[in-house]
Amino acid sequence: MKLPSMPQRGGSVETTVRDIINYIRATTVTSVNGGVLRETPNGTIINVQKPGVTSTSTATACPFGEIITVDDGTYTKAISGGLFMCGDKNFNVPYRGIVLATTGSWLVKLTLTGIDPATDDDDQVFLSGIVTASGTPAWGTIAYTGSESYTSNTNPASPSGTGTIVIPIGILVVASGAATLTPVACGTIEATQCGGILTHTRG
């Protein structure tokens, strides 16, 4: 289908607009075989699934934080890991294996300790950002019956102190030998800090 021509003098603007709308609809990607589409402010991103890796998430596929199929001699299902950025550290978080024989529901989280906030030269004033982290991201779970909450962050007590951030991943349910995950968010994790308050972004 070709892009409609500019309207001619005396031509119908309504017809031209309708033709342009039909052109856009015809050339817009709405699905992809073997992957997923993700709408962003910069356009549509096509995420192609790796061969041999399948998603069984109850929500749309996540590049970091979805159930994947693995074969490492111990696990057959796992929660995918990914990139976790914190100051000068770029952690490659490994996947977390799932024991399908254990029935239950859990809040799944990642915890990173030893976060060093950006400060002035005398360590008297918080500046925006994080310098580094001395710990490494660690997977954890909290038994979930419907009312439990994720563990709170521990903010630096002073500009010279360090903190701990907790990244909620989602609710994992294992039943009848199958696992499902309802993710909190999707994508790369970046820890941030402003005024001594630790937060994070995803995607």
Percent of the chain having pLDDT more than 70?
A: 77
> 101-122 burial string, b = 16+ CB within 10 Å, else e?
eeeebbbbbbbbeebbbbbeee
Looking at the predicted structure, is the pLDDT value of residue 53 above 50? no
Nearest-angstrom CA–CA distance, 155 and 157: 6
Looking at the predicted structure, is the pLDDT value of residue 115 above 70? yes
Q: pTM, whole model, 2 decimals?
A: 0.69
Region 46-66: mean pLDDT is 57
Give bridge partners of residue 202 from the DSSP assignment.
189
Q: Tokens for 31?
A: 């699905």
Task: Please write the tens of the pLDDT for every residue from 162-190.
Answer: 999 999 999 999 999 999 999 999 899 99
**Ranges of each domain in the chain:** 50-202
Task: Please write the tens of the pLDDT for every residue from 138-160.
Answer: 999 999 999 999 999 999 999 99
Mean pLDDT over all residues of the chain? 84
* DSSP state at residue 136: -
Task: Please write the tens of the pLDDT for every residue from 85-112.
Answer: 999 999 999 999 999 999 999 999 999 9
